[in-house]
Homo-oligomer: A and B are copies of this chain.
Amino acid sequence: MNQIAKEDVLAASEGLKAIAHEIRLTVLCHLLQGPMTVSELLKATETEQTNLSKHLSKMRMLGVVETEKQGNFVQYRIANPDWGEVINALKKIYCPD
Protein backbone atom coordinates (compact mmCIF):
# COMPACT_ATOMS: atom_id res chain seq x y z
CA MET A 1 0.00 0.00 0.00
CA ASN A 2 3.10 1.97 0.17
CA GLN A 3 2.74 1.81 -3.55
CA ILE A 4 -0.71 0.44 -4.21
CA ALA A 5 -4.00 1.62 -2.78
CA LYS A 6 -5.86 -0.81 -0.56
CA GLU A 7 -8.83 -1.02 -2.88
CA ASP A 8 -6.58 -1.76 -5.83
CA VAL A 9 -4.86 -4.54 -3.92
CA LEU A 10 -8.27 -5.99 -3.19
CA ALA A 11 -9.34 -5.76 -6.82
CA ALA A 12 -6.09 -7.31 -7.99
CA SER A 13 -6.36 -10.16 -5.52
CA GLU A 14 -9.84 -10.91 -6.85
CA GLY A 15 -8.48 -10.89 -10.37
CA LEU A 16 -5.72 -13.27 -9.34
CA LYS A 17 -8.31 -15.64 -7.92
CA ALA A 18 -9.87 -15.68 -11.35
CA ILE A 19 -6.75 -17.26 -12.83
CA ALA A 20 -5.32 -19.15 -9.84
CA HIS A 21 -6.60 -22.51 -10.98
CA GLU A 22 -5.08 -25.01 -13.36
CA ILE A 23 -8.01 -24.99 -15.78
CA ARG A 24 -8.57 -21.26 -15.70
CA LEU A 25 -4.89 -20.53 -16.18
CA THR A 26 -4.87 -22.88 -19.14
CA VAL A 27 -7.84 -21.02 -20.59
CA LEU A 28 -6.10 -17.71 -20.14
CA CYS A 29 -2.96 -18.95 -21.88
CA HIS A 30 -4.97 -20.15 -24.83
CA LEU A 31 -6.99 -16.98 -25.11
CA LEU A 32 -3.79 -14.99 -25.29
CA GLN A 33 -3.40 -16.44 -28.78
CA GLY A 34 -6.79 -15.08 -29.73
CA PRO A 35 -10.51 -15.52 -29.06
CA MET A 36 -11.87 -19.05 -28.85
CA THR A 37 -15.27 -20.65 -28.54
CA VAL A 38 -16.26 -22.79 -25.60
CA SER A 39 -16.06 -25.86 -27.83
CA GLU A 40 -12.47 -25.09 -28.72
CA LEU A 41 -11.58 -24.42 -25.11
CA LEU A 42 -13.23 -27.68 -24.21
CA LYS A 43 -10.84 -29.60 -26.41
CA ALA A 44 -7.91 -27.57 -25.15
CA THR A 45 -8.62 -28.12 -21.48
CA GLU A 46 -9.80 -31.72 -21.62
CA THR A 47 -12.40 -31.29 -18.91
CA GLU A 48 -16.17 -31.71 -18.64
CA GLN A 49 -18.38 -29.19 -20.40
CA THR A 50 -20.27 -28.24 -17.29
CA ASN A 51 -17.08 -27.84 -15.31
CA LEU A 52 -15.44 -25.65 -17.93
CA SER A 53 -18.58 -23.59 -18.17
CA LYS A 54 -18.42 -22.77 -14.49
CA HIS A 55 -14.77 -21.82 -14.71
CA LEU A 56 -15.45 -19.58 -17.68
CA SER A 57 -18.34 -18.04 -15.82
CA LYS A 58 -16.09 -17.24 -12.91
CA MET A 59 -13.49 -15.63 -15.14
CA ARG A 60 -16.18 -13.57 -16.81
CA MET A 61 -17.72 -12.41 -13.57
CA LEU A 62 -14.32 -11.36 -12.27
CA GLY A 63 -13.73 -9.36 -15.42
CA VAL A 64 -10.81 -11.28 -16.83
CA VAL A 65 -12.60 -12.40 -19.98
CA GLU A 66 -15.47 -11.15 -22.11
CA THR A 67 -17.87 -13.00 -24.32
CA GLU A 68 -19.62 -12.51 -27.59
CA LYS A 69 -22.36 -14.75 -28.83
CA GLN A 70 -21.98 -15.91 -32.39
CA GLY A 71 -24.94 -17.94 -33.44
CA ASN A 72 -24.87 -21.13 -31.53
CA PHE A 73 -21.39 -20.51 -30.19
CA VAL A 74 -19.97 -18.22 -27.57
CA GLN A 75 -16.61 -16.70 -28.17
CA TYR A 76 -14.41 -15.85 -25.21
CA ARG A 77 -11.64 -13.31 -25.29
CA ILE A 78 -9.33 -11.68 -22.79
CA ALA A 79 -10.69 -8.43 -21.47
CA ASN A 80 -7.32 -6.75 -20.99
CA PRO A 81 -4.23 -7.58 -23.04
CA ASP A 82 -2.04 -6.73 -20.05
CA TRP A 83 -2.81 -10.21 -18.74
CA GLY A 84 -0.26 -11.27 -21.30
CA GLU A 85 2.42 -9.58 -19.26
CA VAL A 86 1.30 -11.40 -16.15
CA ILE A 87 1.68 -14.67 -18.01
CA ASN A 88 5.08 -13.71 -19.35
CA ALA A 89 6.29 -12.96 -15.86
CA LEU A 90 4.91 -16.27 -14.62
CA LYS A 91 6.76 -18.02 -17.42
CA LYS A 92 10.00 -16.56 -16.19
CA ILE A 93 9.31 -17.94 -12.76
CA TYR A 94 7.83 -21.32 -13.58
CA CYS A 95 9.00 -22.33 -17.04
CA PRO A 96 12.60 -23.49 -17.09
CA ASP A 97 14.25 -22.63 -20.41
Contacts and interface: CB of A to CB of B under 8 A. Distances in A.
Copies of this chain, how many?
A: 2
Interface residues of A, number: 39
Interface in A1-43: 1-5, 8-13, 15-17, 19-22, 24-26, 29-30, 32-33
A59 to B, nearest CB: 13
Contact of A93 (B2, B15, B22): B15
Contacts of A24: 13
B90 A86 contact: yes
Interface of A: 1-5, 8-13, 15-17, 19-22, 24-26, 29-30, 32-33, 44, 80, 82-83, 85-86, 88-95
